[in-house]
Amino acid sequence: MRLLRFFVQARPRQWGWLWLLGCWLAVWAELELLTDSRNYYGPMWSPVLLLAAGAVLCGCALGFWLRRPAVAPAAEAVLRRVPVAGLLLLLGGGWVLSVQAPAVATRPVSLNYSDVIVILQTYVSRFRSGEVVYRYLTNLSYPLFPNHLPMQWLPYVPADALGIDYRWWAMGLLLLLGFGAYQLVLVRQPLSWLEFGLKALLPAYFVVRLIQANPDIYSLTCEPTIICYYCLLAASVLGRSAGLQATALVLCLMSRYSVVFWVPFFLWVLWREVSPRHALVVAGLTGAGILGVYVVPFLSHDWTIFSHALAEYRIATLGEWSRSSGTDLPVHVFGGTGVASWFYTYGPESISERITLLQRTHVVVSAGVVALVAWLYYRLRHRLDYRLAALIGLKLYLATFYSFLQIPYLYLTSLSLFISLFVVMTVGFRRAPEAPTAVAGHA
């Protein structure tokens, strides 16, 4: 309570520079802990520091915005920045593709490198030929029941038809849609031209740093597509469009379950701050999207698909946790990106029991973070714009959710870093002098 009182009572002008500095140091620490300094502090403390950096970023952004009215630039200023944002998006995209090219060229799609893309290709092939998608895969060295939701593989149907490598398609979606949404929000932030330019190139810089430090991260997976979805979600949170919010929620929920605990909080905030009708429209469109993408075309034909997928996750986790020989420990568990290493080291004697303990802790902690965010929002609702509260809550939730994954793959953990882009985007060193508005997001 004392900490909360400090945040509430602090004068914005007095502490603004401190909150800004804290935001930038926190996001820099996140990037370092996923790139050059990954596992530098050991597999036990590196993930703790990574989670702490995400929490500090949220706390500093909250401190920056309390009792500070947001301002929006004039329409003319927005129009002037749109072509510049487009140019910087193209330059950043070219930079990313030039760094990604060698990694893709030296890693052909093969089970010798990774099974993820081969599995996605099987889904797409079955879908295009009219076969049943969700049945056992027989082209792997092990039996596997499909455990990927539709929006993990449906976006690659056009790529498959055009003969385009899925990895290039995934990166293209991220650069055009995900980072394009980021730029559309950025042009509406009342920042100086220098800060605008630097922040416009920040997404590309993050991707380049991740690839340079870990060439396998996006050359053996199609994770950029999922990151694209969450960039769209973050952009929709800062906007007012029910259609965009529902679309982003469908894309995220139908690719992974990661955001599921945060969704009720977001709908509650929309109900309170916008209108019950707006919240019901978002909920209704999201439900309709889930029915149309997953339930009707796939799940309704075999209601065991969902339980089969959960069972496969458990089998995969047991396999990863059991991959140790002699003094070697499971590499993905002790990769420095998740707290699974603590449960592996100090959990019950049985590996299965350790995994169960982590799974239960994961649920409790994720739900607990959402409850904390909801409480903070309610206490500070008169001093903080609801969209900023929802975005900060999304960042804190995802940082926690991915920290407690049973298999904390690096490419999965990297997703939370891109939500940090939207958080630091909203804070600035120099605000424009126009009249205050609700938030400097897009309409």
Q: What is the mean pLDDT of the chain?
A: 90
SS3 253: helix
Provide the pLDDT confidence category of residue 94 given band limits of 50, 70 and 90.
very high
Gyration radius from the chain CA atoms: 22
- Rounded to the nearest angstrom, the gap between the alpha carbon of residue 60 and the centroid of all alpha carbons in its chain is 20
> For residues 218 and 207, what is the distance between their CA atoms, to the nearest angstrom?
9
Per-residue pLDDT for 168 more than 60?
yes
SS3 405: coil
**Could you tell me which of 289, 179, 294, 194 has the C-alpha nearest to residue 235?**
179
* pLDDT (tens digit per residue) in 247-267: 999 999 999 989 999 999 999
Q: Which helix (H) or strand (E) holds 436?
A: strand 436-437
* pLDDT (tens digit per residue) in 392-417: 999 999 999 999 999 999 999 999 99
> For residues 37 and 40, what is the distance between their CA atoms, to the nearest angstrom?
5
Cβ atoms within 10 Å, residue 109: 18
Find the distance separating the first CA and the last CA of the chain, reported in whole Å: 35
Provide the residue type at 229 as one letter: Y
168-181: average pLDDT:
97
Q: Report the pLDDT value the prediction gives residue 14, as an integer from 0 to 100.
A: 58
Q: Report the pLDDT value the prediction gives residue 9, as an integer from 0 to 100.
A: 53
* pLDDT (tens digit per residue) in 267-276: 999 999 999 9
Reported pTM: 0.93
Cβ atoms within 10 Å, residue 409: 18
Per-residue pLDDT for 436 more than 80?
no
Q: Report the pLDDT value the prediction gives residue 443, as an integer from 0 to 100.
A: 37
Q: Report the pLDDT value the prediction gives residue 69, as an integer from 0 to 100.
A: 65
Q: What is the DSSP string of 71-125?
A: E---HHHHHHHHHHHHHHHHHHHHHHHHHHHHHHHTS-S-TTT-SHHHHHHHHHH
Residue tagged 């620490």 (tokens): 29
> For residues 238 and 380, what is the distance between their CA atoms, to the nearest angstrom?
18
Are the CB atoms for 434 and 190 separated by under 8 Å?
A: yes
- Rounded to the nearest angstrom, the gap between the alpha carbon of residue 40 and the centroid of all alpha carbons in its chain is 23
> For residues 201 and 114, what is the distance between their CA atoms, to the nearest angstrom?
31
* pLDDT (tens digit per residue) in 6-20: 555 555 455 678 899
161-179: average pLDDT:
97
Q: 2 — phi, psi (to 5°)?
A: -60, -40
Burial of residue 106 (number of CB atoms within 10 Å: 0-12, 13-18, 19+): exposed
> For residues 401 and 363, what is the distance between their CA atoms, to the nearest angstrom?
9
Provide the residue type at 84 as one letter: V
Q: Report the pLDDT value the prediction gives residue 236, as an integer from 0 to 100.
A: 97
In the DSSP assignment, the letter for residue 299 is G
